[in-house]
Amino acid sequence: MKRILSFFLTLVLTAALLCPAALAVNETAVKDRDWVYITLDPGHGGDGAGGNDSGAVNEKYGYQEADLVLKIGLYLKEELETYRNVHVDMTRSDSYGTRYTPLREVKQRVDFAAEQCSDLLVSLHLNSAGSNQSVHGGLILASNGNYDPDCAKVIDAVGTNILAQLSRLGIDTSRGLIKEGSHDGTLYPNGKLADYYGIVRYGQLRHIPAMIVEHCFVSSNSDCEQFLSSDAKLRAIAQADARGIAAYYGLEKKDPGEVDVEPLFRDCRSHWAKDYVNRAADAGWVNGVGGGLFQPNGTLTRAMFVTMLAGLAGVDEADYPGSTFSDVSVGQWYAPSVAWAASEGIVSGTGDGRFEPNRNITRQEMAQIMAGYLAWKGVDTHPTADPSAYNIPDRADIAPWALDSAMKRGCCPAATTALLRWTMPRARRRASCCAGSMTFCARPKVDFLRFRGIIRSTYCRNGGIHHYE
Protein backbone atom coordinates (compact mmCIF):
# COMPACT_ATOMS: atom_id res chain seq x y z
CA MET A 1 0.00 0.00 0.00
CA LYS A 2 1.24 3.43 -0.85
CA ARG A 3 1.80 4.95 2.55
CA ILE A 4 2.11 8.64 1.76
CA LEU A 5 2.97 10.56 4.90
CA SER A 6 3.05 14.17 5.89
CA PHE A 7 6.44 14.97 4.47
CA PHE A 8 4.53 15.51 1.23
CA LEU A 9 3.98 19.06 2.40
CA THR A 10 7.61 19.93 1.83
CA LEU A 11 7.61 18.40 -1.61
CA VAL A 12 4.22 19.65 -2.73
CA LEU A 13 4.74 23.25 -1.77
CA THR A 14 8.27 23.39 -3.08
CA ALA A 15 7.41 21.82 -6.41
CA ALA A 16 4.20 23.79 -6.76
CA LEU A 17 5.98 27.07 -6.11
CA LEU A 18 8.68 26.27 -8.63
CA CYS A 19 6.25 24.78 -11.15
CA PRO A 20 3.01 26.68 -10.52
CA ALA A 21 1.31 25.20 -13.55
CA ALA A 22 1.76 21.66 -12.31
CA LEU A 23 -1.71 21.28 -10.91
CA ALA A 24 -4.55 23.45 -9.68
CA VAL A 25 -5.50 23.01 -6.03
CA ASN A 26 -8.95 23.13 -4.53
CA GLU A 27 -8.71 25.94 -2.00
CA THR A 28 -11.79 24.82 -0.10
CA ALA A 29 -10.77 22.93 3.00
CA VAL A 30 -13.15 20.60 4.80
CA LYS A 31 -14.64 22.24 7.87
CA ASP A 32 -13.99 19.50 10.36
CA ARG A 33 -13.11 21.20 13.63
CA ASP A 34 -16.42 20.22 15.16
CA TRP A 35 -16.25 16.53 14.31
CA VAL A 36 -16.44 14.12 17.23
CA TYR A 37 -15.08 10.58 17.06
CA ILE A 38 -16.58 8.14 19.55
CA THR A 39 -15.77 4.49 20.16
CA LEU A 40 -18.44 2.34 21.77
CA ASP A 41 -17.36 -0.81 23.58
CA PRO A 42 -20.24 -3.23 24.30
CA GLY A 43 -18.69 -5.14 27.18
CA HIS A 44 -17.84 -8.81 27.23
CA GLY A 45 -18.82 -10.92 24.21
CA GLY A 46 -16.74 -13.65 22.67
CA ASP A 47 -13.48 -14.12 20.88
CA GLY A 48 -14.87 -15.58 17.66
CA ALA A 49 -13.17 -18.88 18.25
CA GLY A 50 -15.71 -20.75 20.30
CA GLY A 51 -15.14 -18.95 23.55
CA ASN A 52 -17.75 -16.66 25.00
CA ASP A 53 -17.96 -14.22 27.86
CA SER A 54 -21.56 -13.57 28.69
CA GLY A 55 -20.82 -11.15 31.51
CA ALA A 56 -23.38 -10.97 34.29
CA VAL A 57 -26.52 -13.12 34.02
CA ASN A 58 -30.01 -12.74 35.47
CA GLU A 59 -31.00 -16.11 36.88
CA LYS A 60 -34.77 -15.55 36.70
CA TYR A 61 -35.03 -14.21 33.16
CA GLY A 62 -31.83 -15.62 31.67
CA TYR A 63 -30.69 -12.21 30.43
CA GLN A 64 -26.99 -12.02 29.59
CA GLU A 65 -25.09 -8.80 29.95
CA ALA A 66 -23.11 -9.26 26.73
CA ASP A 67 -26.28 -9.59 24.63
CA LEU A 68 -28.08 -6.65 26.20
CA VAL A 69 -25.17 -4.17 26.04
CA LEU A 70 -24.58 -5.11 22.41
CA LYS A 71 -28.14 -4.07 21.62
CA ILE A 72 -27.68 -0.88 23.62
CA GLY A 73 -24.45 -0.19 21.71
CA LEU A 74 -26.06 -0.67 18.31
CA TYR A 75 -28.98 1.55 19.25
CA LEU A 76 -26.58 4.13 20.66
CA LYS A 77 -24.53 4.19 17.46
CA GLU A 78 -27.71 4.66 15.44
CA GLU A 79 -28.85 7.49 17.68
CA LEU A 80 -25.51 9.30 17.77
CA GLU A 81 -25.35 9.26 13.99
CA THR A 82 -28.56 11.32 13.87
CA TYR A 83 -26.38 14.22 15.06
CA ARG A 84 -24.13 16.31 12.83
CA ASN A 85 -20.43 15.59 12.53
CA VAL A 86 -20.27 12.42 14.59
CA HIS A 87 -18.32 9.31 13.67
CA VAL A 88 -18.94 6.16 15.71
CA ASP A 89 -16.77 3.04 15.84
CA MET A 90 -17.55 -0.13 17.81
CA THR A 91 -15.22 -2.69 19.33
CA ARG A 92 -17.79 -5.30 18.42
CA SER A 93 -20.98 -5.28 16.41
CA ASP A 94 -22.14 -8.90 16.80
CA SER A 95 -22.21 -11.62 19.41
CA TYR A 96 -18.54 -12.30 19.16
CA GLY A 97 -17.14 -9.18 17.71
CA THR A 98 -14.78 -8.52 14.90
CA ARG A 99 -11.76 -7.49 16.93
CA TYR A 100 -10.51 -6.88 20.45
CA THR A 101 -13.55 -8.36 22.11
CA PRO A 102 -12.40 -10.86 24.75
CA LEU A 103 -12.41 -9.48 28.27
CA ARG A 104 -8.73 -10.33 28.53
CA GLU A 105 -8.08 -7.82 25.71
CA VAL A 106 -9.25 -4.72 27.55
CA LYS A 107 -6.06 -2.87 26.68
CA GLN A 108 -6.55 -3.66 23.01
CA ARG A 109 -10.03 -2.16 23.12
CA VAL A 110 -8.45 1.09 24.22
CA ASP A 111 -5.74 0.69 21.59
CA PHE A 112 -8.48 0.29 18.99
CA ALA A 113 -10.08 3.55 20.14
CA ALA A 114 -6.69 5.24 19.89
CA GLU A 115 -6.25 3.94 16.33
CA GLN A 116 -9.56 5.60 15.44
CA CYS A 117 -8.36 8.88 16.96
CA SER A 118 -11.36 8.74 19.28
CA ASP A 119 -12.36 11.70 21.39
CA LEU A 120 -14.30 9.45 23.77
CA LEU A 121 -14.46 5.75 24.65
CA VAL A 122 -17.67 4.55 26.27
CA SER A 123 -17.66 0.99 27.57
CA LEU A 124 -21.24 -0.24 27.95
CA HIS A 125 -22.08 -2.57 30.83
CA LEU A 126 -24.72 -3.84 33.22
CA ASN A 127 -23.84 -4.42 36.85
CA SER A 128 -24.38 -7.42 39.11
CA ALA A 129 -24.79 -7.97 42.83
CA GLY A 130 -25.26 -11.71 42.69
CA SER A 131 -28.39 -12.83 44.49
CA ASN A 132 -28.84 -9.54 46.38
CA GLN A 133 -32.10 -8.15 44.99
CA SER A 134 -31.87 -4.95 47.02
CA VAL A 135 -29.06 -3.55 44.87
CA HIS A 136 -30.17 -1.75 41.74
CA GLY A 137 -29.60 1.38 39.67
CA GLY A 138 -26.87 2.81 37.49
CA LEU A 139 -23.44 4.32 38.03
CA ILE A 140 -20.38 5.35 36.05
CA LEU A 141 -16.81 4.27 36.64
CA ALA A 142 -14.63 7.32 36.13
CA SER A 143 -11.00 8.29 36.60
CA ASN A 144 -9.20 9.55 39.68
CA GLY A 145 -7.43 12.05 37.43
CA ASN A 146 -3.97 11.12 38.68
CA TYR A 147 -2.45 10.85 35.22
CA ASP A 148 -4.40 12.93 32.70
CA PRO A 149 -6.60 15.40 34.58
CA ASP A 150 -8.04 16.86 31.38
CA CYS A 151 -9.30 13.45 30.25
CA ALA A 152 -10.71 12.88 33.72
CA LYS A 153 -12.65 16.15 33.53
CA VAL A 154 -14.22 15.05 30.23
CA ILE A 155 -15.26 11.75 31.80
CA ASP A 156 -16.77 13.56 34.78
CA ALA A 157 -18.76 15.94 32.58
CA VAL A 158 -19.99 13.36 30.08
CA GLY A 159 -20.71 10.87 32.85
CA THR A 160 -22.73 13.40 34.83
CA ASN A 161 -24.77 14.19 31.71
CA ILE A 162 -25.45 10.51 31.02
CA LEU A 163 -26.49 9.84 34.60
CA ALA A 164 -28.90 12.78 34.47
CA GLN A 165 -30.51 11.33 31.33
CA LEU A 166 -30.71 7.81 32.80
CA SER A 167 -32.34 9.28 35.88
CA ARG A 168 -35.09 10.71 33.66
CA LEU A 169 -35.93 7.12 32.70
CA GLY A 170 -36.46 6.29 36.36
CA ILE A 171 -33.11 4.57 36.91
CA ASP A 172 -31.60 5.18 40.33
CA THR A 173 -28.33 7.02 39.70
CA SER A 174 -27.62 8.07 43.26
CA ARG A 175 -24.30 6.23 43.30
CA GLY A 176 -23.07 8.72 40.70
CA LEU A 177 -19.46 8.65 39.54
CA ILE A 178 -17.23 6.00 41.12
CA LYS A 179 -13.48 6.63 41.16
CA GLU A 180 -11.56 3.63 42.38
CA GLY A 181 -7.80 3.42 42.74
CA SER A 182 -5.65 0.37 42.11
CA HIS A 183 -6.08 -2.40 44.69
CA ASP A 184 -2.51 -3.64 44.36
CA GLY A 185 -0.69 -0.32 44.37
CA THR A 186 -0.21 -0.07 40.59
CA LEU A 187 1.16 3.36 39.75
CA TYR A 188 0.97 5.55 36.69
CA PRO A 189 4.29 6.53 35.05
CA ASN A 190 4.17 9.78 37.03
CA GLY A 191 4.27 7.82 40.27
CA LYS A 192 0.64 8.43 41.27
CA LEU A 193 -1.88 5.71 42.09
CA ALA A 194 -3.43 4.24 38.95
CA ASP A 195 -7.13 3.73 38.31
CA TYR A 196 -8.42 0.27 39.14
CA TYR A 197 -10.57 -0.45 36.10
CA GLY A 198 -8.63 -1.40 32.99
CA ILE A 199 -10.66 0.58 30.45
CA VAL A 200 -10.29 3.73 32.50
CA ARG A 201 -6.61 3.14 33.31
CA TYR A 202 -5.51 2.35 29.77
CA GLY A 203 -7.57 5.24 28.48
CA GLN A 204 -5.64 7.57 30.76
CA LEU A 205 -2.35 6.17 29.48
CA ARG A 206 -3.46 6.77 25.86
CA HIS A 207 -4.93 10.19 26.74
CA ILE A 208 -8.44 9.12 25.75
CA PRO A 209 -11.41 9.88 28.01
CA ALA A 210 -12.53 6.31 28.71
CA MET A 211 -15.45 5.50 30.97
CA ILE A 212 -17.57 2.54 31.99
CA VAL A 213 -21.33 3.02 32.10
CA GLU A 214 -23.07 0.51 34.35
CA HIS A 215 -26.61 1.30 33.26
CA CYS A 216 -28.34 -0.75 35.92
CA PHE A 217 -28.09 -4.14 37.64
CA VAL A 218 -28.91 -7.10 35.42
CA SER A 219 -28.91 -9.19 38.59
CA SER A 220 -31.86 -7.12 39.87
CA ASN A 221 -35.21 -8.51 38.78
CA SER A 222 -36.81 -5.10 39.20
CA ASP A 223 -34.21 -3.41 36.97
CA CYS A 224 -34.70 -6.14 34.38
CA GLU A 225 -38.45 -5.72 34.40
CA GLN A 226 -38.43 -1.93 34.29
CA PHE A 227 -35.52 -1.19 31.97
CA LEU A 228 -34.21 -4.29 30.16
CA SER A 229 -37.23 -6.40 29.26
CA SER A 230 -37.79 -5.16 25.70
CA ASP A 231 -35.93 -3.72 22.75
CA ALA A 232 -37.86 -0.49 23.19
CA LYS A 233 -36.54 -0.13 26.72
CA LEU A 234 -32.98 -0.88 25.61
CA ARG A 235 -33.32 1.73 22.88
CA ALA A 236 -34.53 4.24 25.49
CA ILE A 237 -31.35 3.63 27.49
CA ALA A 238 -29.26 4.16 24.36
CA GLN A 239 -31.09 7.38 23.59
CA ALA A 240 -30.41 8.58 27.13
CA ASP A 241 -26.70 7.87 26.65
CA ALA A 242 -26.76 9.75 23.35
CA ARG A 243 -28.44 12.80 24.85
CA GLY A 244 -25.83 12.91 27.59
CA ILE A 245 -22.95 12.73 25.11
CA ALA A 246 -24.57 15.24 22.76
CA ALA A 247 -25.09 17.71 25.59
CA TYR A 248 -21.39 17.73 26.43
CA TYR A 249 -20.19 18.18 22.84
CA GLY A 250 -22.96 20.57 21.86
CA LEU A 251 -24.15 18.29 19.05
CA GLU A 252 -27.05 19.27 16.85
CA LYS A 253 -29.50 17.03 15.08
CA LYS A 254 -29.22 16.68 11.32
CA ASP A 255 -31.95 17.99 9.09
CA PRO A 256 -33.91 15.39 7.07
CA GLY A 257 -31.77 14.16 4.23
CA GLU A 258 -28.67 15.97 5.47
CA VAL A 259 -25.40 14.16 4.75
CA ASP A 260 -22.18 14.91 6.59
CA VAL A 261 -18.88 15.32 4.78
CA GLU A 262 -16.38 13.54 6.97
CA PRO A 263 -12.77 14.74 7.16
CA LEU A 264 -10.43 12.95 4.79
CA PHE A 265 -8.05 12.02 7.58
CA ARG A 266 -9.28 11.81 11.13
CA ASP A 267 -5.80 12.11 12.59
CA CYS A 268 -5.31 15.53 11.00
CA ARG A 269 -8.41 17.19 12.42
CA SER A 270 -6.51 19.38 14.86
CA HIS A 271 -3.09 19.23 13.24
CA TRP A 272 -1.47 22.49 12.11
CA ALA A 273 -0.88 20.98 8.65
CA LYS A 274 -4.52 19.98 8.16
CA ASP A 275 -5.28 22.40 5.35
CA TYR A 276 -2.16 21.43 3.44
CA VAL A 277 -2.97 17.76 3.81
CA ASN A 278 -6.55 18.25 2.63
CA ARG A 279 -5.47 20.28 -0.37
CA ALA A 280 -2.88 17.74 -1.43
CA ALA A 281 -5.40 14.93 -1.05
CA ASP A 282 -7.98 16.85 -3.08
CA ALA A 283 -5.36 17.29 -5.79
CA GLY A 284 -4.68 13.56 -5.81
CA TRP A 285 -1.07 13.83 -4.65
CA VAL A 286 -1.54 11.77 -1.48
CA ASN A 287 -3.94 9.13 -0.29
CA GLY A 288 -3.03 8.48 3.34
CA VAL A 289 -2.14 5.15 4.89
CA GLY A 290 -5.61 3.62 4.88
CA GLY A 291 -8.43 3.49 7.39
CA GLY A 292 -9.01 7.24 7.21
CA LEU A 293 -5.54 7.94 8.60
CA PHE A 294 -2.66 10.01 7.33
CA GLN A 295 -0.08 9.74 10.14
CA PRO A 296 0.96 13.40 9.92
CA ASN A 297 3.89 12.93 12.28
CA GLY A 298 5.08 9.72 10.69
CA THR A 299 8.41 9.22 8.99
CA LEU A 300 9.02 8.88 5.27
CA THR A 301 10.87 6.09 3.48
CA ARG A 302 12.95 6.50 0.35
CA ALA A 303 10.32 4.59 -1.61
CA MET A 304 7.54 6.86 -0.37
CA PHE A 305 9.42 10.00 -1.31
CA VAL A 306 10.17 8.84 -4.84
CA THR A 307 6.58 7.65 -5.27
CA MET A 308 5.33 11.11 -4.33
CA LEU A 309 7.63 12.65 -6.92
CA ALA A 310 6.34 10.27 -9.54
CA GLY A 311 2.77 11.16 -8.66
CA LEU A 312 3.53 14.85 -8.87
CA ALA A 313 5.19 14.29 -12.23
CA GLY A 314 2.21 12.37 -13.58
CA VAL A 315 4.20 9.21 -14.28
CA ASP A 316 2.29 6.34 -15.88
CA GLU A 317 3.34 3.27 -13.93
CA ALA A 318 2.68 1.05 -16.93
CA ASP A 319 5.60 2.70 -18.70
CA TYR A 320 8.07 1.39 -16.11
CA PRO A 321 7.42 -2.32 -15.55
CA GLY A 322 10.98 -3.31 -14.79
CA SER A 323 13.38 -2.87 -11.91
CA THR A 324 16.75 -1.15 -11.79
CA PHE A 325 17.94 -2.15 -8.31
CA SER A 326 18.51 -5.57 -6.78
CA ASP A 327 16.40 -4.80 -3.70
CA VAL A 328 13.42 -3.39 -5.64
CA SER A 329 11.29 -6.31 -6.73
CA VAL A 330 8.98 -6.05 -9.71
CA GLY A 331 5.42 -5.86 -8.47
CA GLN A 332 6.15 -3.76 -5.39
CA TRP A 333 3.93 -0.68 -5.21
CA TYR A 334 6.95 1.62 -5.45
CA ALA A 335 8.85 -0.27 -8.18
CA PRO A 336 7.54 1.73 -11.19
CA SER A 337 8.28 5.04 -9.45
CA VAL A 338 11.79 3.97 -8.56
CA ALA A 339 12.37 2.71 -12.11
CA TRP A 340 11.17 6.05 -13.50
CA ALA A 341 13.37 8.07 -11.14
CA ALA A 342 16.40 5.96 -11.99
CA SER A 343 15.78 6.15 -15.73
CA GLU A 344 15.60 9.95 -15.56
CA GLY A 345 18.73 10.28 -13.46
CA ILE A 346 16.81 11.56 -10.44
CA VAL A 347 18.14 8.75 -8.21
CA SER A 348 21.22 6.58 -8.48
CA GLY A 349 20.79 4.26 -5.53
CA THR A 350 22.90 3.78 -2.42
CA GLY A 351 25.64 1.66 -3.93
CA ASP A 352 26.16 -1.97 -4.91
CA GLY A 353 23.07 -1.86 -7.09
CA ARG A 354 20.77 -1.20 -4.13
CA PHE A 355 18.14 1.45 -3.45
CA GLU A 356 17.11 0.63 0.14
CA PRO A 357 13.44 1.50 -0.49
CA ASN A 358 12.20 0.84 3.03
CA ARG A 359 14.84 2.82 4.89
CA ASN A 360 13.74 6.20 6.24
CA ILE A 361 15.07 8.98 4.09
CA THR A 362 17.52 11.50 5.54
CA ARG A 363 17.40 15.23 4.95
CA GLN A 364 20.50 15.21 2.77
CA GLU A 365 19.18 12.32 0.69
CA MET A 366 15.95 14.24 0.23
CA ALA A 367 17.87 17.31 -0.88
CA GLN A 368 19.84 15.31 -3.44
CA ILE A 369 16.76 13.60 -4.89
CA MET A 370 14.83 16.88 -4.93
CA ALA A 371 17.68 18.55 -6.78
CA GLY A 372 17.58 15.79 -9.37
CA TYR A 373 13.85 16.12 -9.76
CA LEU A 374 13.97 19.89 -10.20
CA ALA A 375 16.77 19.54 -12.74
CA TRP A 376 14.62 17.03 -14.63
CA LYS A 377 11.82 19.60 -14.59
CA GLY A 378 14.18 22.16 -16.09
CA VAL A 379 14.13 24.42 -13.04
CA ASP A 380 17.12 26.62 -12.32
CA THR A 381 18.13 25.68 -8.79
CA HIS A 382 21.32 27.68 -8.50
CA PRO A 383 21.31 29.95 -5.42
CA THR A 384 21.02 33.67 -6.06
CA ALA A 385 23.82 34.28 -3.59
CA ASP A 386 27.09 32.53 -2.86
CA PRO A 387 26.20 29.46 -0.77
CA SER A 388 29.28 30.15 1.38
CA ALA A 389 27.45 33.21 2.71
CA TYR A 390 25.02 31.01 4.56
CA ASN A 391 26.07 30.41 8.15
CA ILE A 392 25.16 26.75 8.73
CA PRO A 393 26.77 25.47 11.93
CA ASP A 394 26.54 21.78 10.98
CA ARG A 395 27.56 22.25 7.36
CA ALA A 396 30.55 19.98 7.98
CA ASP A 397 28.15 17.15 8.75
CA ILE A 398 26.67 17.22 5.27
CA ALA A 399 28.16 14.40 3.22
CA PRO A 400 30.35 15.57 0.29
CA TRP A 401 28.06 13.83 -2.18
CA ALA A 402 25.06 15.81 -0.86
CA LEU A 403 26.63 19.22 -0.31
CA ASP A 404 26.01 20.59 -3.77
CA SER A 405 22.39 19.45 -3.75
CA ALA A 406 21.87 20.72 -0.23
CA MET A 407 22.80 24.25 -1.24
CA LYS A 408 20.56 24.44 -4.28
CA ARG A 409 17.51 26.66 -4.35
CA GLY A 410 14.37 24.77 -3.39
CA CYS A 411 16.20 21.72 -2.04
CA CYS A 412 17.03 22.55 1.57
CA PRO A 413 16.22 24.97 4.39
CA ALA A 414 19.29 27.07 3.67
CA ALA A 415 17.93 27.98 0.26
CA THR A 416 14.30 28.53 1.21
CA THR A 417 14.53 32.30 1.32
CA ALA A 418 15.97 32.48 -2.17
CA LEU A 419 13.30 30.10 -3.36
CA LEU A 420 10.57 32.24 -1.91
CA ARG A 421 12.02 35.46 -3.26
CA TRP A 422 12.05 34.02 -6.75
CA THR A 423 8.70 32.28 -6.74
CA MET A 424 6.29 33.89 -4.33
CA PRO A 425 4.09 36.92 -5.09
CA ARG A 426 5.66 40.23 -4.16
CA ALA A 427 3.27 40.83 -1.27
CA ARG A 428 4.42 37.62 0.42
CA ARG A 429 8.18 38.03 -0.07
CA ARG A 430 10.26 38.30 3.07
CA ALA A 431 13.39 39.93 1.64
CA SER A 432 14.63 40.94 5.05
CA CYS A 433 15.08 37.31 6.01
CA CYS A 434 18.21 36.69 4.05
CA ALA A 435 20.80 35.83 6.63
CA GLY A 436 21.16 34.28 10.00
CA SER A 437 22.05 31.12 11.83
CA MET A 438 20.63 27.96 10.28
CA THR A 439 21.20 24.27 10.93
CA PHE A 440 20.87 21.76 8.12
CA CYS A 441 20.83 18.54 10.19
CA ALA A 442 21.96 16.24 7.42
CA ARG A 443 21.87 12.99 9.27
CA PRO A 444 18.53 12.90 11.08
CA LYS A 445 15.68 11.03 9.46
CA VAL A 446 13.04 13.17 7.89
CA ASP A 447 9.98 13.90 9.94
CA PHE A 448 7.89 16.77 8.84
CA LEU A 449 7.51 18.58 12.11
CA ARG A 450 11.29 19.10 12.15
CA PHE A 451 11.29 20.34 8.58
CA ARG A 452 8.26 22.55 8.38
CA GLY A 453 10.05 25.70 7.36
CA ILE A 454 9.60 25.27 3.62
CA ILE A 455 5.83 25.11 3.83
CA ARG A 456 5.43 27.69 6.53
CA SER A 457 7.17 30.43 4.58
CA THR A 458 10.04 31.99 6.46
CA TYR A 459 10.22 33.13 10.02
CA CYS A 460 12.21 36.17 11.04
CA ARG A 461 13.59 35.88 14.52
CA ASN A 462 16.32 38.22 15.64
CA GLY A 463 17.07 39.02 12.02
CA GLY A 464 17.73 35.45 11.02
CA ILE A 465 15.94 32.49 9.50
CA HIS A 466 14.97 29.68 11.85
CA HIS A 467 13.07 27.10 9.91
CA TYR A 468 12.78 24.17 12.21
CA GLU A 469 13.97 24.98 15.73
CB count in 10 Å sphere of residue 459: 16
Task: Tell me which residue of 220, 4, 52, 40 sits closest to 118, measured CA to CA.
Answer: 40
- Give burial (CB, 10 Å; 0-12/13-18/19+) of 98: exposed
CA-nearest of 458, 463, 455 to 428 is 458
Give 352-385 pLDDT, tens digit per residue: 999 999 999 888 888 888 888 888 888 877 766 6
- Tell the CATH topology of 36-249: Aminopeptidase (3.40.630)
d(CA 167, CA 244): 11
Tens-place pLDDT, residues 133-161: 999 999 999 999 999 999 999 999 999 99
Q: Which residues contact 250 (CB under 8 A, 6 or more apart)?
A: none
Using CA atoms, how far residue 72 sits from 40, 69, 118, 239, 254, in Å, is: 10, 5, 19, 9, 21
What span, in angstroms and rounded, lies between the C-alpha atoms of 277 and 295? 11
Angstrom distance (rounded) from CA 364 to CA 361: 8
Residue 12's CB is within 10 A of a number of other CB atoms, namely 25
Higher pLDDT, 47 or 282: 282
Q: Looking at the chain, which residues constitute the CATH 3.40.630.40 domain(s)? A: 36-249
- What is the C-alpha to C-alpha distance for residues 240 and 219, in angstroms, rounded to an integer? 21
Dihedral sign (CA 401, 404, 406, 411)? negative
Question: Which range among 40-44, 194-198, 432-436 shows the weakest confidence by mean pLDDT?
Answer: 432-436
- The verdict on pTM exceeding 0.75 is no
Nearest-5° angle of CA 188, CA 189, CA 192? 45
